[in-house]
Amino acid sequence: MPELSAVPRINLLRSARLWWSDIAAREGKLAAVRQTIGGLWEFVRDSTPQRKRQRYGDAAYDWDYRVNTTSAAVSWRDRLLAVFHSPHQPTEPELFQEMLTMLQRQAGIDFRDYLFLDLGSGKGRALLMASDHSFRRIVGVELLPALHKIAQENLAKYRSESQKCFALESICADATDFAFPAEATVLYLFNPFPEAGLRRAIGRLEQSLRAHPRAVYALYHNPLLEQVLGESAALEKICGTNQYSVYASR
């Protein structure tokens, strides 16, 4: 089992304070004010009836598999916390399939040898979709207890004739402190952290690769902070599109 830090108490004020000090230290106080106002404004816009309806927009997957993975029905507190971490948004099935096909084509790997690890796994949709492939095991790490609980329910409920992996697990923890298992890994990142968090997670991956050199592939979906992975001496980009980038350990 991976070593885990204790699950932090998720506290709005603490989250806001850490978020503020990370941005102020890196970009200055003015940038922190601007980004705080921007994040809160987005939260208010996201609370309008029209946006609420949009969040139900991608319910086809849930309907097909009788699960609950959309960003609808997330409490206002968890949506406010998301301003300082990142909002829950499930991966679109066609794009997920495209990323895995691209990875297999470029790297020629056999998923049976790999752990699929989703840092910031939300309600667990990527875990469910990964289980239709023959990964050795599948692990998701989610910060918010309410989303983790729903992910656990989804893992228990999921039925698909194409399911190939049945060793699925959702862990409730801060994924930026996650100690990577020393296994060949397909790491999935759907834009899960603000910059400071992503730097911490990639730093931990680098440490882990130094201690246990092995094959790790990172699928970075919606790569808004591409420079963080690009700057890592432990990773090299092997392919990508404007929607995702694929990195391999050197």
- Which positions lie near ligand SAM, rule CB under 6 A? 85-86, 88-91, 118, 120-122, 125-126, 141-144, 147, 174-176, 190-193, 197
Pick between residue 92 and residue 206 the one whose CB is nearest to ligand SAM: 92
**What is the nearest approach in angstroms of ligand SAM to the Cβ of residue 235?**
19
Q: How far is CA 149 from CA 3, 11, 69, 136, 170, in A?
A: 21, 18, 12, 23, 9
**Strands 115-119 and 185-190: what pairing?**
parallel
Pick between residue 29 and residue 149 the one whose CB is nearest to ligand SAM: 149
* Angle at 249 (CA atoms; ends 247, 250), nearest 5 degrees: 115
Pick between residue 197 and residue 223 the one whose CB is nearest to ligand SAM: 197
Q: Where are the beta strands (DSSP E) in the chain?
A: 115-119, 137-142, 168-172, 185-190, 216-221, 235-240, 244-249
For residue 84, give every residue at least 6 positions away whose Cβ sits within 8 Å of its Cβ, in sequence order, or none: 12, 15, 16, 18, 19, 39, 194
Pick between residue 30 and residue 59 the one whose CB is nearest to ligand SAM: 59
**What is the nearest approach in angstroms of ligand SAM to the Cβ of residue 152?**
14
Pick between residue 25 and residue 30 the one whose CB is nearest to ligand SAM: 25
**What is the nearest approach in angstroms of ligand SAM to the Cβ of residue 129?**
8
Q: Are 169 and 138 in contact (CB under 8 A)?
A: yes
Pick between residue 122 and residue 223 the one whose CB is nearest to ligand SAM: 122
Pick between residue 28 and residue 57 the one whose CB is nearest to ligand SAM: 57
**What is the nearest approach in angstroms of ligand SAM to the Cβ of residue 62?**
12
**What is the nearest approach in angstroms of ligand SAM to the Cβ of residue 18?**
10
- Two tokens at 186? 């397909």
Please report, as a single letter, which amino acid is at residue 225: L
What is the C-alpha to C-alpha distance for residues 228 and 194, in angstroms, rounded to an integer? 11
What residue number has its CB nearest to ligand SAM?
120
**What is the nearest approach in angstroms of ligand SAM to the Cβ of residue 39?**
13
**What is the nearest approach in angstroms of ligand SAM to the Cβ of residue 92?**
9
DSSP 16-79: HHHHHHHHHHHH-HHHHHHHHHHHHHHHHHHTSHHHHHHHTTTTHHHHHHT---SSSS--HHHH
For residue 28, give every residue at least 6 positions away whose Cβ sits within 8 Å of its Cβ, in sequence order, or none: none
